[in-house]
């Protein structure tokens, strides 16, 4: 009764089965894949096939990608694009606060709605709990169609599980610009004494149809409204030459984030860098990491020394000794809470998105991750990783073995409940 299965209620699964994606979305995705085939190296095609089977969307070429790693720059870019919107703005986010950042975005959306732009926003009911009533009221007062995602109302008909959340961070503007990454609509220092460090990708090109498809499917699951119109899926235009793919879809029965992460590590030839704020791996991921090191792959894990969740932090640290014994190089980012979530593999493959490397993201949350098959873009992410390394302290087995005995006890006790965190 307290924990249950990692599945949505029966009514929601039936709703998804009845309409996971509209015919218009399917036609747009086929047209994008046909008109802009992805030029993917032969050795990475198994990854692309796995991603296709996980989310039902093929890799597409002809995209442009901009990486945003400065918090304020991301907010300014988003508000600027909203300011240029002509038909619609779709925004899905886990945390939407009514602080200065949230107010800035709400005002940009309100001005767009005042111009006749259709603005639709979904915020996770639990992630945005402290602010959701005020935020939704403020948006609705400005003509924005704002909805709670997965409201937790146990005494009402069709309740939602409190532990199954929509953790995606997506924005689609006029079907032509898309944002995906780790950053919520909240101030970087919304937790006292902690400032977040994020990574967001701004994309243009055929990949935006895939982001739109995920948003529209989630919108249908929450509202039972089937949105349609030519402006939702305008004819795809080439933005650049970057092959991209989205493995994420709503309520799919197979855990896309976990299988993709494991496959990426098994496919590594020289180097893997995993950046995540929360690291609670399962046995399959641990074995993949150990096997990579045994193959001679340089495996590096970047996690945050700054922690915002006590139990999660303790459980996470209980895996450090195991990683160090396996030969993983472990870096503790010291300055901020490193909330960015991305993986680079060798010099030609990367993912950026909302999924942590933990059991919750693998089995309970709805996530959105972008797979990047472009050496040039991977080099840019590697440059971001170098900044992390410069701001980190590398943990050694000797240092870790010398921590206090009572801390070891607390970490191992937290590990016992790690699948529930």
Q: Among 90, 169, 218, 358, which one carries the catalytic annotation? A: 169
298 is catalytic: no
Q: How far apart, in whole angstroms, are the C-alpha atoms of residue 214 and residue 220?
A: 10
251 is catalytic: no
Q: Among 339, 342, 348, 358, which one carries the catalytic annotation? A: 339
* Tokens 């000794």, residue located: 321
Q: What is the DSSP letter of 233?
A: S
Angle at 369 between CA 367 and CA 373, to 5 degrees: 165
Question: Is there a contact between 381 and 67 (Cβ–Cβ < 8 Å)?
Answer: yes
Closest CA to 30 of 210, 168, 152, 183: 210
Q: Among 58, 90, 341, 342, which one carries the catalytic annotation? A: 341
Closest CA to 308 of 144, 192, 392: 192
167 is catalytic: yes
Q: Among 167, 218, 342, 358, which one carries the catalytic annotation? A: 167
Q: Among 81, 124, 346, 348, which one carries the catalytic annotation? A: 346
339 is catalytic: yes
Q: Among 98, 174, 218, 348, which one carries the catalytic annotation? A: 174
Closest CA to 333 of 202, 199, 200, 201: 199
Closest CA to 301 of 388, 196, 399: 388
Closest CA to 54 of 241, 224, 263: 263
88 is catalytic: no
335 is catalytic: no
Q: How far apart, in whole angstroms, are the C-alpha atoms of residue 64 and residue 251?
A: 28
- Please list the active-site residues: 167, 169, 174, 339, 341, 346
């Amino acid at each position: 009764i307290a924990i249950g299965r990692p599945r949505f209620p029966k009514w929601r699964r039936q709703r998804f089965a009845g309409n996971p994606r509209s015919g218009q979305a399917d036609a747009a995705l086929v047209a994008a894949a046909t008109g802009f085939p992805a030029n993917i190296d032969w050795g990475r095609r198994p990854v692309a096939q796995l991603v296709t089977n996980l989310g039902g969307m093929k890799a597409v070429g002809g995209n442009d990608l901009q990486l945003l790693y400065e918090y304020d720059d991301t907010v300014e870019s988003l508000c600027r694009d909203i300011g240029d919107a002509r038909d619609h703005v779709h925004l899905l986010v886990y945390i939407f606060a009514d602080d200065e950042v949230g107010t800035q975005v709400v005002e940009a959306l309100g001005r767009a709605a005042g111009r006749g732009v259709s603005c639709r926003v979904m915020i996770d009911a639990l992630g945005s709990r402290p602010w959701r009533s005020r935020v939704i009221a403020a948006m609705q007062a400005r003509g924005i169609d704002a909805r709670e995602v997965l409201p937790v109302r146990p005494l009402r008909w069709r309740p939602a599980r409190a532990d199954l959340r929509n953790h995606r961070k997506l924005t689609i503007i006029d079907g032509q610009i898309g944002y995906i990454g780790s950053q919520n609509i909240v101030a970087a220092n919304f937790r006292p004494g902690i400032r977040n460090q994020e990574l967001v990708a701004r994309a243009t090109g055929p990949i935006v149809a895939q982001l739109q498809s995920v948003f529209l499917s989630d919108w249908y699951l929450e509202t039972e409204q089937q949105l349609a119109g030519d402006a939702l899926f305008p004819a795809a235009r080439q933005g650049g030459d970057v092959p991209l793919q989205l493995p994420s879809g709503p309520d799919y029965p197979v855990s896309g984030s976990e299988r993709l992460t494991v496959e990426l590590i098994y496919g590594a030839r020289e180097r893997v860098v995993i950046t995540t704020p929360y690291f609670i791996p399962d046995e399959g991921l641990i074995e993949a990491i150990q096997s990579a090191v045994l193959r001679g792959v340089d495996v590096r894990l970047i996690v945050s020394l700054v922690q915002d969740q006590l139990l999660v932090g303790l459980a996470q640290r209980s895996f450090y000794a195991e990683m160090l014994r396996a030969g993983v190089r472990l870096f503790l980012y010291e300055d901020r809470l490193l909330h960015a979530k991305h993986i680079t593999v060798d010099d030609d493959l990367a993912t950026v998105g909302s999924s942590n490397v933990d059991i919750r993201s693998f089995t309970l949350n709805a996530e959105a991750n972008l797979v990047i098959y472009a050496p040039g873009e991977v080099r840019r992410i590697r440059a971001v990783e170098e900044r992390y390394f410069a701001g980190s302290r590398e943990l050694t087995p000797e240092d870790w073995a010398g921590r206090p005995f009572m801390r070891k006890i607390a970490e191992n006790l937290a590990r016992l409940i790690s699948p529930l965190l």
